A and B are shown apart, each in its own frame.
Chain A
Amino acid sequence: MEFYTNALTSVLAWGPLGAMIGATLLGVLIGALPGLNPVMAIALLLPLTYSMDPLIALGMVAGIYNGSMYGGAIPAILLRIPGTPASIATTFDGFPMADRGEASKALKIACWSSAIGGIASAIALMTMGPLLARLTLFFGPAEYFWIAIFGMASVGVMVGSDPVKGIMAAVLGLLIGTMGIDNLSGQARFTFGQTWLLGGLDLVVVLVGLYALPPVLQLAEKRDLVGLSSGQLKLKSAPFEKGEIRGLIPTWLRSSGIGILVGILPGAGGNIAAFLSYNAARNASDDPASFGKGNPQGVAAAECGNNADNAASMIPALSLGIPGNVVAALVLSALTIHGLQPGPQLFHQNPILVGGFMMEMLITSVLIFALGGMVATRVFAQFQRLPGVLLVPSILILMCVGVYVINGRMVDLWVMLAAGLAGYFLEKVNVPLAPVILGMILGPMAEQSVRRALLISRGDATELLTRPLSAALAVMTLLVILWPIAKSLQRRRKAKPV
């Protein structure tokens, strides 16, 4: 309890509190603009956090994450355009509600559901995170190695349509992570005689390129020259009727549980949580046929589910160093920027920071109630009147200024552009990007751990498998990799004609 009391005192200072309020508002705006997403926004934010207090930086990440997950519902409900991938399920009932003149009610339900899902998720993070971290006291180098490999394997397998491509992307990330001077031997690796590569490729530079440039190019491809008319964005106030909130409580409870479970699973994201919650609400309903035709329970389930995934995805990230999704990977990058090693040691070395971040996830969820209401929604919906082609150079400028200020060198801008183009084409050929970043983050930890384990055992590789915990982690990794292969063989056997 003292852990959270101290953390709460730190995050309620003016700096972190102001950052959370500003970032939650910014997050709602980002989510409301189709083409922009929380991953891109946090990637753009990271370079600016170098000189910031870590609690302010993490407060901004928390605000943007929670705010944008709700913000995505605004165009999903008003225009049937999901602001973020996680709000696709919101369109199913949100748009039909708007179509029959209940847009304000749908937005209000989305706002409340997002906040409730976020709060439930933050409570799960605050209770389960420290418990899981305690387990890590038994970890040695071999366990750290397997934890890193398990994280990459599970994200590689779960993200994207082809597990082989996912693992291939993770290995690419691991290879990129080896660039620069090797800390243990001093050997320069893959530097091609370039002094600027001696420190390796900057994670944030690659990250901004990979995650921000492809959506910019896609916006350019859409070539939106007009934006939306003001008539499409008119909203009236819509108070809850008697008994309406009580009717939504079972959906909120169910969707929160689903979102939290999905968040803990590495690789599964908010969109999966939203779909599962939506389906569960439909199955539990007395009138499943009304889903897809403007049932408020559908909006509540989707929005509560996608926000309940947020903080929960930080549970494996903060306690084990395995990010549950890309935003969790970005949070790990933010920690790395501030010289903190993601993973099990974090809870013991920086309790105020970890506890503070958990509190920030909770506070920013509560802030959605206060800031995501009708006034903010009305204001942010107006930004959709900007033609998309004007957003293209705006984001490009933010990317460039963000990347330039990291090291103050032009070569980083070219690296960012190259990474962005590579990211654009990799996504097109269904090679997921999250494992690349994860490989870059966890690669150094994996390499150092395996080399330390081998040094301790004087080169005996069986040491990696003989301790019960490391053997269990190795078996789990193997199962994660073999599971899709087994499923594919099973599918093939079923498809064979008798």
Chain B
Amino acid sequence: MEKRQDIVTGLLFAGLGIAAAWMATGYKGASGIYPMTLGLILTLLGALVALKAVRSGRNETRALVDAPAQMITASVVAALYVAAVVPFGFFTASFLVMLAMPFALGFRKPLYALIVALAFVALVYLVFSVLLEKPLPREAVLSLMARGG
């Protein structure tokens, strides 16, 4: 048990429970009773987790993130990718993230990454756009070309 982590987790859940129960008081009739009860139970359980951690004599150190630099890098690149899907288009953004993510994580074989990126994006295009005909955000390059034409 990592004491500090468990105390924070318990308090977060308890806070979430209180907020939910409080919001549920504004709902009419039976539709409010159920979430309010759940909110109160969550508060109790959260408090119990925190209390157990406070009273526990054991404190085993446990890293919350094993490799913070890589984890943060991957999360940021993932968020940038999602943000880029609409302005660039799905396949362009996917191609870019296939190159950017390995590079950001330290992969230094650009040709290898380029071949895998091209092959993978082509496969995704074939499966989702050609075979399954799923509508995906439009490619900015195509719009620009259409305007130019």
Contacts and interface: CB of A to CB of B under 8 A. Distances in A.
Interface of A: 48, 51, 162, 164-165, 167-168, 171-172, 174-175, 178, 182, 184-185, 187, 189-190, 213, 216-218, 220-223, 225, 386-387, 389-390, 392-394, 396-398, 400-401, 404-405, 408, 410, 413-414, 417, 421, 424-425, 428-429, 431, 447, 450-451, 454
A187 B30 CA distance: 10
Contacts of A218: 66
Given A172-B13, A390-B107, 19 more contacts: A162-B49, A164-B52, A165-B9, A167-B45, A168-B45, A178-B35, A184-B31, A187-B27, A187-B31, A190-B23, A223-B70, A225-B107, A390-B98, A392-B74, A396-B78, A397-B120, A401-B136, A410-B85, A413-B85
Nearest to A192: B23
B16 interface: yes
Nearest to B39: A175
Contacts, number: 169
Given A221-B67, A405-B128, A387 B31 contact: no
Given A175-B39, A410-B86, A185 B28 contact: yes
B122 interface: no
Contact of B6 (A185, A394, A397, A429): A429
A390 B136 contact: no
A401 B28 contact: no
A447 B34 contact: yes
A213 B73 CA distance: 14
Contacts of A454: 30
Nearest to A421: B75
A218 B98 CA distance: 17
B27 A189 contact: yes
Nearest to B103: A389
Interface string B94-127: 1001101110011100000100100011001000
A178 B27 CA distance: 12
A396 B124 contact: no
Interface string B1-27: 010011001000100110010011001
Contacts of B45: 164, 167-168, 171
Given A185-B31, A417-B79, A429-B6, A220 B74 contact: yes
B98 A394 contact: yes
B140 interface: no
B61 to A, nearest CB: 13
A393 B34 CA distance: 41
Interface of B: 2, 5-6, 9, 13, 16-17, 20, 23-24, 27-32, 34-35, 38-39, 41-42, 45-46, 48-49, 52, 62, 64-67, 70-71, 73-75, 77-79, 81-82, 85-86, 90, 94, 97-98, 100-102, 105-107, 113, 116, 120-121, 124, 128, 132, 134-137
Contacts of A394: 98, 120
A431 B9 contact: yes
B31 A428 contact: no
A397 B134 CA distance: 14
A175 B35 contact: yes
A22 to B, nearest CB: 11
B135 A429 contact: no
A407 to B, nearest CB: 11
Contact of B20 (A175, A387, A396): A175
B42 A172 contact: yes
5 closest cross-chain pairs (CB), A and B: A220-B74, A393-B101, A221-B67, A187-B31, A168-B45
Nearest to A51: B132
11 contacts: A182-B27, A217-B71, A390-B113, A393-B81, A397-B97, A398-B124, A404-B90, A405-B128, A410-B82, A429-B9, A431-B9
B136 A404 contact: yes
Contacts of B16: 172, 175
A217 B67 CA distance: 10
A220 B71 contact: yes
Contacts of B29: 185, 187
A408 B135 contact: yes
> Which among A171, A221, A222 has the highest number of chain B CB atoms within 10 Å?
A171
A178 B37 CA distance: 12
Contacts of A396: 78, 81, 97, 101
A401 B124 contact: yes
Nearest to A168: B45
Nearest to B133: A51
Contacts of A417: 78-79, 82
A182 to B, nearest CB: 4
